[in-house]
Amino acid sequence: MAYSDIEAAARLTAITDRTYFWSDGDDELLLGIVCNDMFSPAADSELVALSEAPALLALYRADGCEGLMRWVAARRAESTQGARP
């Protein structure tokens, strides 16, 4: 079944405590993925556009929280390619 972006985000947030909604005060609503202590010993989360929610919901249903953490790790690796240590 295909869900709209907001419906997929709401369903994902309803079935796991690893996601939440966030807004910076403007009109944009984002989905947060909680990564506490997964990449470093600190409170951490990854903010993503709601357009990612349908794929993340499918990933969660297939692989659970581990799938979400792998997705975040891959996304962070992409954003730091070429960065200096």
Residue 84 forms part of a structural domain: no
Residue 85: inside a domain, yes or no? no
With a cut of 90, say whether residue 67 has pLDDT above it: yes
The confidence band for 40, taking pLDDT boundaries of 50, 70 and 90, is: low
Q: Is the residue at 30 inside a domain?
A: yes
The pTM of this model reads 0.82
Q: Containing domain of residue 54, as a range?
A: 5-78
In a domain, 83, yes or no: no
- Count of structural domains, the chain: 1
Selected residue with higher pLDDT from 2 and 38: 2
The answer to the question of residue 58 being in a domain is yes
- On whether residue 70 sits in a domain, the answer given is yes
Could you tell me whether strands 29-34 and 45-49 are parallel, antiparallel, or unpaired per DSSP bridges? Answer: antiparallel
State the DSSP string of the chain: ----HHHHHHHHHHH-TTEEEEE-SSS-EEEEEE-TTTSSSS--EEEEEGGGHHHHHHHHHHHHHHHHHHHHHHHHHHHHTT---
